[in-house]
Structure 1
Amino acid sequence: MSRYEAGLVVARRETAADRVLVLTLRHPLGEPLPAWEPGAHVDVVLRPGLERQYSLCGDPADRAAYRIAVLRETDGRGGSAYVHDELRAGDTVRVRGPRNGFRLERAPRYRFLAGGIGITPILPMLAAAEEAGAEWSLLYGGRTRAGLAFTGELERYGGRVVIVPEDESGLLDLASVLDDVSPDTLVYCCGPGPLLDAVEARCPAGRLRVERFRPKEAVADPPAEAEFEVVLARSGRTVSVPPGVPVLDAVRAAGVEVLYSCTEGTCGTCETEVVEGEPDHRDSVLTEAERAAGETMLICVSRCRGRRLVLDL
């Protein structure tokens, strides 16, 4: 996990679509930024107490700048409004990362699906798939054509990109993309929750990789929680985790410094190695295979299926 943190300057503000603002971030002294791969995101501290995660949507070969895109959320919690209304070129923001929980795995064929601002992590994936000589296609939808970002950049890919404004053509035709997925094809999808849920329901098992901007809906009748113990492998200390208290809060209350950000199980910052025990995964990041392996867990939301966990903390 990267521990890079620096104040980066907003070098440029551009409009990419209705309600979508693109920021180019550079080091104030021109120092090269940490390398990243398609699917990575950074934590951006906009001001004290206001921190958000944004996917990197520029060129990974460009170590001089990071590019992020921010959608103004009509029902957001203040982050996007701050970026659109108050953040100006020349301002400095604190940036941590990059981190990647949505890495592009090697495959001969890809099917990409994006909804709205979900195009941001997908955009550099297309360039990587193209460079690797893979066979790929993109189905990209949104409410209106004017609200779809980066359509100009996508024109160079020709017919492999299908853009579907909902007010013109209706919802995405998922059957056209998912009903004939071959065993050597990987499907990458990012966008609003309903789109991801529909794709998950239709995509063949093991083929899908998703990134969520918001956590999955909680189950209507969650199981009762019990107290359990977390053993901190590096010190041998034992911390009790009561019902309703996240592991993250319990270990921090015990004085243990842990990296974290969203506290919703969506960013992956607090992913921690499991030495012993069975996690009760409640995040929106890990794949089904990763959950089954039980080698890591997101301690901001996940718990324990037994009475004891040993974590690499």
Structure 2
Amino acid sequence: MPNHLAQHGVDSSSPASPVTRRPGNQTLEVARKDVVADGVVKLRLEEPSGGRLPHWTPGAHIDLVMPTADGGSQVRQYSLCGDRWDASAYEVAVLRESNSQGGSQFIHENLAVGDMLSVGTPRNNFGLAQASRYEFIAGGIGITPIMTMIAAAEKLGIDWHLLYGGRSRRSMAFLGELARYGDRVTVWPQDESGHLPLDFLDEPTEGAKVYCCGPEPLLAAVESATTNWPGWAVRFERFVAPSQPPPVRTEPFTIELSHSGRTVTVGTEQTVLEALDAAGVPVLSSCNEGVCGTCEVGVVGGVPDHRDSLLSDAERAKGDRMFVCVSRSITERLVLDL
């Protein structure tokens, strides 16, 4: 079942990773900071000189680079939820997490209108594919990428329905904006109605696709409910990386760099990214969990052991790319496009 993860306003449970200033990062100003639900703020980020920002597509996310308590920096990914046709700003919604690693705490407590943030160019691993109908399912702050998909479906004249759950109405962002869609939106607060009703997913609808974003219990329930659907018709975006089985190959293996023919050994307790870094081969990275897509590298030989939360089953079967912060190798030798 296809998976992808971006944070949608929640902190990952991993410690902050070292920050590399990536090509495309720019410094944007916090133009607005609005409370849109209990524990949720929406930021509007603008280019200080009024310039145009890079284009993005529904489901995309951006990196925000923020300070840490020890004086360092951390990167967090947040889904874009504003108007994609507004080239003057990016908008993200951020949930205040009780177990925050510093990102949401900083945004809620310290970030103010007028402050400047380093922001990455939009990336999209949760893109909206063509369909005759969309079944959107969102839980809590997972509504953020779904908002942009709804706007796209409306412009395209494609039939859709949203099932939107949350702890309570007070905690659910964008209810006012969604109200104009009438009965195409089903709002399902858990404290009033219990768990989301998913029986409508028992049998696939011809030409339809399911897009689901939310906490892991919701995604697991939707995955179970859509066992009769073809894998390509159901897309998930997760808040946290799911647990992975043990790697196929636990012993060391060799990485060959196709551009130079140079070889690098990846140790038993070492990631490909760590081995490349130790060998002086720079690869841009951010999350170190296989969830953000920054460290994608092409594969031209060998069979990778995919351990990310980004690629679909079909994309994994191609074996032509991997995310080197977590994925390893099935074969003794792996040739990378580096």
SS of alignment partner, residue 56 of structure 2: coil
Asked whether 1:139 is paired with 2:173, we answer: no
Asked whether 1:272 is paired with 2:297, we answer: yes
1:254 is aligned, of 268, 279, 303, to 279
What amino acid is the match of 1:100?
Answer: N
User: Distance between the aligned counterparts of 2:73 and 2:315, measured in 1?
Assistant: 32
What is the 5 A alignment of 1:219-298?
219=245, 225-298=250-323
Contact persistence 2:247–2:328 (CA under 8 A): no
Contact persistence 1:274–1:295 (CA under 8 A): yes
Asked whether 1:44 is paired with 2:64, we answer: yes
* Structure 1 stretch displaced more, 27-36 or 46-55: 46-55
Identity score, percent: 53
In the TM superposition, residue 195 of structure 1 has moved relative to its aligned partner by 1.2
Q: How many residues align?
A: 310
In the TM superposition, residue 35 of structure 1 has moved relative to its aligned partner by 0.2
* 1:193 match: 216
Deviations 1:128-186 (A, max 9, x none): 0111111110111011110001111111111111011000000111112x123223111
Q: Which ranges in structure 2 are unaligned for 5 or more consecutive residues?
A: 1-21
* 2:182 match: 158
Instruction: Identify if the C-alpha distance between structure 1 residues 231 and 224 changes in structure 2 by more than 3 Å, giving closer, same or farther.
Output: closer
Contact persistence 2:248–2:329 (CA under 8 A): no
**TM-score, reference length from structure 1:** 0.96
What amino acid is the match of 2:190?
Answer: E
Contact persistence 2:65–2:118 (CA under 8 A): yes
In the TM superposition, residue 76 of structure 1 has moved relative to its aligned partner by 2.2
Q: Which ranges in structure 1 are unaligned for 5 or more consecutive residues?
A: none
* 2:333 match: 308
In the TM superposition, residue 256 of structure 1 has moved relative to its aligned partner by 1.8
What amino acid is the match of 1:15?
Answer: V
What amino acid is the match of 1:79?
Answer: G
Asked whether 1:97 is paired with 2:124, we answer: no
In the TM superposition, residue 222 of structure 1 has moved relative to its aligned partner by 5.8
1:20 is aligned, of 40, 56, 59, to 40
Asked whether 1:124 is paired with 2:158, we answer: no
In the TM superposition, residue 223 of structure 1 has moved relative to its aligned partner by 5.3
* 1:106 match: 130
Contact persistence 1:213–1:266 (CA under 8 A): no
Runs of 4+ in 1 over 4 A off after TM superposition: 221-224
User: Distance between the aligned counterparts of 1:43 and 1:236, measured in 2?
Assistant: 33
What amino acid is the match of 1:161?
Answer: V
In the TM superposition, residue 188 of structure 1 has moved relative to its aligned partner by 0.5
**TM-score, reference length from structure 2:** 0.89
Contact persistence 1:229–1:308 (CA under 8 A): yes
SS of alignment partner, residue 240 of structure 1: strand
What amino acid is the match of 2:202?
Answer: D
* 1:205 match: 230
Contact persistence 2:164–2:187 (CA under 8 A): yes
Deviations 1:77-104 (A, max 9, x none): 1111011001111111101121000000
